[in-house]
Structure 1
């Protein structure tokens, strides 16, 4: 009887050891799979963080470039108030000279008519000269529009006369003037207005938001992974 009982006990302990060994094997496989998953996720997370940092750095550089170009021109502009300009006079005064490129080290002179437009701002007695935009104002202090110089002067003349006729027909146009009256001239359009500034800041802002969101999501994923591991240890 003793031998039989001993045999039975030995068989039970053997099966218990087998169960423990099987459990340890499954446990080791589970731990190995988790390590493989963590090892596989680690490079992906690093690349995602580097991508986010690259996007943020690129957006900062774009902000810097925009700050010294468009934003600076927008801040320095004195034509800040929008009003209604009534065309008082629109005449061609003289022919202006311009030069165009005709080849390597070759420049020739052409002529275009100088259109002068005077307007009354907001139906007041203040009469000012109208320019198309800031570039025209810098290029010529007298002419409303400076066309791109080309060989055929008739094309430039037809363009200027077409603009003159349109101004005579419309009579009233929206314009931008200097409320401090430091500038006598007014502008028909602004190169660096509110819409231009918003459009220029759109893509850098999107890139900055995307890079920040990417880094936050990776960090959140890492935090949740650590939290799950800690909860699993507490349960065990």
Structure 2
């Protein structure tokens, strides 16, 4: 499978563009060779993501603060395209077709303890229907629980989830005429008491995806702050 080089088209002034992906992932046995990945290089990477969130006004518009300690990778694959796979970096502009199918999630700069951790992943759109008039925001595009370590893929820890999501994944679909939307993906350590049943009074499968409030939800459910995150941009098809 060929992996495409993705060039960022971002609102970030401090970030010139996304770096291309040029390698093929090879799977290893589950939990094989898990070692401590957190390092000075990892800290530099998380500092870069933090700066991207502030530059894109995700902080304070969506999050009151953001201090990531892990790198979340989001991998979109559409086999219908000539270059089917992209791994996003903060601020990259993706086409509508590139985000057609639910992505795969992984963690880089991980530690051995991450292999035992359970995670929640939430994706939202704060720019609906348009960034200039986001009256429907936030749109809840995904809320999945019980993510755990699957296998180590090169230097990344692939995450898997076999439970039913609290909120099914909804494909990015900004309306015609809109500027690109920010789509924010966040990774949270999952508290032991965080289950579909425990959060049902605040959000469940029958809840509207419109006007979701991430801050209110995390405070009400005790989810806390994300340890990793990223975001991408998607515009309507021309």
| TM-score > 0.5, shorter chain as reference | no
TM-score of the two chains, using structure 2 as the length reference: 0.21
Rg: which structure is higher? 1
